[in-house]
Structure 1
Amino acid sequence: MYKAMIDKDTYISILEPRHAEELYHVIDANRENIGEWLSFPMKTNNVEDSKIFIEKSLKRLSENNGYWAGIWHENSIAGSIGYLFMDWSARKTEIGYWLGKDYVGKGLATLACKQLIDHSFNDLRLRKVEINVATKNCKSKAIPERLGFMQEGIIRNYEYLNGEYHDRVIYGLLKEDWEQENINNLGENETWTK
């Protein structure tokens, strides 16, 4: 199935049922730190829950409405990234992501996001990509900010998690902004084409 190389040690690939056990173990080992900002670890109690999640993701893929991929680093699942939906009439999507604590700070989520953004604009011909992040999740907010997204607003009390309400900041990136960002970041010997 789909596999995209990020660097010699890292790639993303569509999650398949055969990945359920490894995915579950990463979630289980990182339940506390992932669960600080996301609710799914509390709902993932065994390998079967991960298998059901993967099967739902593959169904969404078959319906052309998004999917989740694993982020592999040095042959182990480091986390996951995906398109939460596809709004084909507005030609936009939202990207979600998470990493296990041993993989944070290596740039993996940023590189994986970049891969999905490129795919969104160049292959899927979308016009906009969004990323929504808890306002207090500074590490996760740094990713869209690093990639040139614009803060478009804050949804107050978006989610009740771990005994408190969390606001969400909405980041948006338009195709023309991404193209301009890529032009501005070209090295002397690089070329860029649309």
Structure 2
Amino acid sequence: MQITIDQQLSLRTLTLEDAKTVFALTDASRAYLREWLPWLDITREVADTTAYIEGCIKGHEAKSSLSLVIIFQNEIVGIAGFNVINYNNKIAAIGYWLSEGAQGHGIMTRTVQALLHYAFEELQLNKVEIRAAEGNTKSRAIPERLGFTKEGTIREAEWLYDHYVDHAAYGILASEWKQINEDFSCS
């Protein structure tokens, strides 16, 4: 699957062939990513990334998740997608990370916009959620910028190496997303 966002930015399904590139990207941004992502210490070699991708492929085949590489100017710069897709309740949870060198180009905002379009138009879901550590202002800025509602704080939601962090929980409904898009197109 491929989603073209614009001439410079696209998303496509994560494949086993991406393992070396994704591992190298992870390794190059390890210190930067480690501040907010709990899996850096268990991603020590290409085989660890391969195992992660195998899990992503199984999730995609089971229609319970969808992991995509973010391609900016013909290079993989991160991962985004639906960590969980719950068709019974028509809800999905978006997760994402971007390499340090790719920050500051609006990549993640446009990526999440494309994921919202896919969730609401293609998958016909009713709600999309994003969780981010309370202190992760860059990650929290994405749902805030895109019209999500902060629905609450989940206390001690994640163990980050040597401490717990609280998560800000955001949600947007299909009806809200459609209204935001209508308002944007009318202005």
Q: Same fold (TM over 0.5)?
A: yes
Amino acid of the structure 1 residue aligned with 2:173: L
Paired residues, what number? 187
Q: CA deviation at 1:187?
A: 5.0
Post-superposition CA distance 1:54-113 (Å, at most 9, x none):
111011111010121100111111100011111111100100000000111111111111
Q: In structure 1, what is the equivalent of residue 14 of structure 2?
A: 15
3-state DSSP of counterpart to 1:140? helix
TM-score, normalised via structure 1 length:
0.94
Q: CA deviation at 1:160?
A: 2.1
3-state DSSP of counterpart to 1:57? helix
> Partners in 2 of 1:187 and 1:13 — Cα distance?
30
The runs of at least 4 aligned residues of structure 1 exceeding 3 Å deviation read none
Q: CA deviation at 1:133?
A: 0.3
Q: CA deviation at 1:162?
A: 3.7
Amino acid of the structure 2 residue aligned with 1:144: P
> Partners in 1 of 2:78 and 2:40 — Cα distance?
12
Please tell me whether residue 3 in structure 1 is matched to residue 6 in structure 2: no
Unaligned 5+ residue runs, structure 1?
A: 189-194
Q: CA deviation at 1:169?
A: 0.5
> Partners in 1 of 2:153 and 2:128 — Cα distance?
16
Cα RMSD between the aligned structures?
1.0
Q: Could you tell me whether the CA contact under 8 Å between 1:36 and 1:162 is conserved in 2?
A: no
> Partners in 1 of 2:36 and 2:17 — Cα distance?
27
> Partners in 2 of 1:81 and 1:21 — Cα distance?
17
Q: In structure 2, what is the equivalent of residue 32 of structure 1?
A: 31
Q: Could you tell me whether the CA contact under 8 Å between 1:5 and 1:11 is conserved in 2?
A: yes
3-state DSSP of counterpart to 2:5? strand
Q: Percent identical across equivalent pairs?
A: 34
TM-score, normalised via structure 2 length:
0.97
Unaligned 5+ residue runs, structure 2?
A: none
